[in-house]
Structure 1
């Protein structure tokens, strides 16, 4: 019942907002709905820790240690983004950028994206997971084109075409996986159930599973924004509304990598030579290098941080590619902390863009003089994103670096070089935006709560992760690597 409630809240909210999303109370109602969703994910987490085998809809939905982490994270970031969007939407409405139709579309699609992510995470059926990812893709494409400018329509079209091609590759991988599983499980829906597949994974055909993983990697890797499949990501960030960027970087990219991890766990049981790990390791490092050395040329603030998202998803892929519980633990922590840091950064740069009426970095100046809170918050969020102590990303990057030094010393040096370049470029851009004379614009009246929540969590979890949470992540890391 709790599983169904978690899905019902955003789905019913999306239906309501499709008709009444332009009402004055709609932004607040969007926040209330997201609050109840977050509560529902916490209840699920409490149940899942005690009984990780919870299922619903005849086994089509389930809980396990892996999806619980991302489900709670989805509930939290959705809530803070909905709170942020209250002020964001009001400012955009007052400035004439959003009309009644756009408001209905925005609030409805916001909840539909959240529903799709929740459905994908809870899906025991890999076919249903594929459907959820496609639904999220379609919903987010309309969000990207919300402003109906030529550039936003072009970005949405590029997003839809590239991810449509990607999801088609994933569908072919799904067919291959079903072909391999049907021999062991027989025809029918059971051949795509994760719980059934994991039970017989050691008996699946390694050749077919290798091909399936490659197709899944192309499909889900496109959605995760891994190089060279990342072309849609900068445009989507630059042209869509800021809350959509926060959801996209903070949650949707995670869902794509989560889906790929599900297939990796199956393939690792039978595919020799650590093939899946090598693929993730190579393309993860490629993503880090391309993203880091592309940062210097970015002049749009949201496009700049979209490349940072590519970098951090690449770092997580490196962790999962290395294999072993320690590297998997570092990657899980990194995905969690990146979601908190990146969504917070988008809250801040979105506010700065509205204040200065531009997304050009050279024209965003004097944020500290305009508002000490927003200026210092951007500096702190930037430091958190760059992995400075005491924030959480320092811990995850340190753990990953330790594993790289132990297993691949040369790659460890390259990893440190990449982090240093990203640090220098991003810190220079952030300091330029907060310094200088007070701009002529005014700071929108946004609630500071979402920013404070994210910065507090990043600092507290960076200083010391509670034992309950630490054991949960350790258990999930062992679960990912097939160890007891």
Structure 2
């Protein structure tokens, strides 16, 4: 395998993880972590200039380019946020240097695993990469070593393992369906081989395989009723990991699901994967929308918001067609940027207030105007109000659905409106009114927060033609 930009996407985080694991001191490793994430992001941008050659193990096409650039960008900005956030956690004694020795190394291992999953041309290798990402985030969720954090990490490990086991069984069934056509061995697991011969695969095996893959990777996407690990992991783990989970890891599992949806679409005798995805997406959206009204922890609140939005995204891809797929890609991008920005704000708010309980977070726009109004902007964006980016994507999803299935469009619109009410109800408690609870100084890096919100605001008004063209091309590929 020649060394090119595609290989560099894996080598940079892998080497960085090894170096960071042996270096002492938080400040040095925090800076190196940011540099490594920046190099990976710049490498991902080079993929639009130089086209690396795909092989049996690594693949580059129009679909994974979008995911790679989005993942590496959010990983870079999160590493910047993490440097100030974790540094303050050490200062107040919530984290000790012993627990943090491998924090940045694990962060780069997570980046390696996600990049590997996105670039893998082998469905078995993709499964291994997603499992590696799961195990890494389990360790990072439990880093506080409190009873609640360890319980959340354990729940994440158990439910994530069940999901990934179901995905493994689905992957094996795909291999069994491909074997008689392609032949046994490595070739029957190579994605580019699978799509060439998918029409000849055994349809019943493909049908069963997709059900297992939907349930397995759907667990990692956070779809209801497979979502139970996600709120606990968000609430008890470090906020940078919450940003990575909502902004990146859910997308990686979604990417795997889309790959297999494309495979089934090439087999005329197989079931249509769309209705299954539409059903699970709609259930997730409606369930999470109602659950927003019962949250008392601000990080759990936005965890359920992630479940709602992943439901909308899966619903859009399930509906299919150029417009719905375009809307799904746009919504995924806007959600990743917006939700990670919200967690940046929430992380620093929890630090200055010393709590995540919504009841103790009143009057933020008075006590901490920058953080308070940043949270207001983030919630306005994630709720889908105009003229921000998520409004555009939600409008496209609902309008494209209404033209084909009006009843589903009404149900989806109802879920979006219910979620908007729940978010604004909690926002009014947190951001406005008389200040409540303890108050401390803000030690925050606002650059990642403002960068994300700025992009989302601009996207609601203007999308570059090159971006629109790229999304349209991928939307056609998804069918």
1:12 counterpart residue number? 15
The answer (yes or no) to whether the contact 1:173–1:214 under 8 Å persists in 2 is: yes
Tell me how far apart the structure 1 counterparts of residues 281 and 406 of structure 2 sit (CA, whole Å): 16
Matches within 5 A, 1:103-252: 103-252=100-249
Answer whether contact 2:264 2:270 (CA < 8 A) is retained: no
Q: 1:34 maps to which residue?
A: 37
Aligned counterparts of 2:338 and 2:223: Cα–Cα separation in 1: 19
Match of 1:453 in 2: 451
Q: State the shift of 1:201 in Å.
A: 1.3
Q: Matches of residues 400-419 of structure 1 in structure 2 within 5 Å?
A: 400-419=397-416
- Contact 1:21–1:103, Cα closer than 8 Å, also in 2: no
Whether the 8 Å CA contact 2:199–2:268 is kept in 1: the answer is: no
Distance in 1 (CA, whole Å) between partners of 2:24 and 2:465 is: 42
C-alpha deviation, 1:55, in angstroms = 3.1
Q: Which residue of 1 aligns with 2:99?
A: 102
Q: Tell me how far apart the structure 2 counterparts of residues 266 and 111 of structure 1 sit (CA, whole Å).
A: 31
Output aligned runs, 1:432-443, within 5 Å. Answer: 432-438=429-435, 440-443=438-441
1:271 positional shift: 5.0
Q: Is the 8 A contact 1:217 1:260 kept in 2?
A: yes
Partner of 1:2 in structure 2?
A: 5
Distance 1:4 1:273, change over 3 A: closer
Task: Normalising by structure 2, report the TM-score.
Answer: 0.97
Shift of the alpha carbon at 1:427?
1.2
Larger deviation: 336-345 or 417-426? 417-426
Cα gap change, 1:271 to 1:280, in 2 (>3 Å): farther
- Where 1:61 maps in the other structure, the secondary structure is coil
Q: Is the 8 A contact 2:207 2:270 kept in 1?
A: no
**1:146-204 per-position Cα deviation (integer Å, ceiling 9, x unaligned):** 00001111111110011101111111111111111111211111111111111111111
**1:275 & 1:226 partners in 2: Cα distance?**
19
CA distance in 1, matches of 2:362, 2:204: 56
CA 372–410 in structure 1, closer or farther in 2 if over 3 Å, else same: same
**Is the CA contact 1:87–1:444 (under 8 Å) kept in the aligned structure 2?**
no
The CA deviation string for residues 441-470 of structure 1, in whole angstroms up to 9 with x for no partner, is 223221110011101100111111100000
1:463 is aligned to 461
- Aligned-partner Cα distance in 2 for 1:118–1:186: 29
Structure 1 segments of 4+ aligned residues over 6 angstroms from their partners: none
Gaps of 5+ in 2: none
More divergent stretch after superposition (376-385 vs 20-29): 20-29
Q: RMSD of the alignment, in Å? A: 1.3
Deviation at 1:275, TM superposition (A): 2.8
* TM-score, length-scaled by structure 1: 0.96
Instruction: Look up the match of 1:372.
Output: 369
The question of whether the paired residues in 2 share the 8 Å contact of 1:280 and 1:321 is answered with yes
- TM-superposed CA distance for 1:438, in Å, is 4.5
Match of 2:56 in 1: 59
Q: State the Cα distance separating 1:45 from its structure 2 match.
A: 3.0
Worse-superposed segment, 98-107 or 354-363: 98-107
Secondary structure of 2:90's counterpart equals helix
State the alpha-carbon separation in 2 of the partners of residues 346 and 60 from structure 1. 35
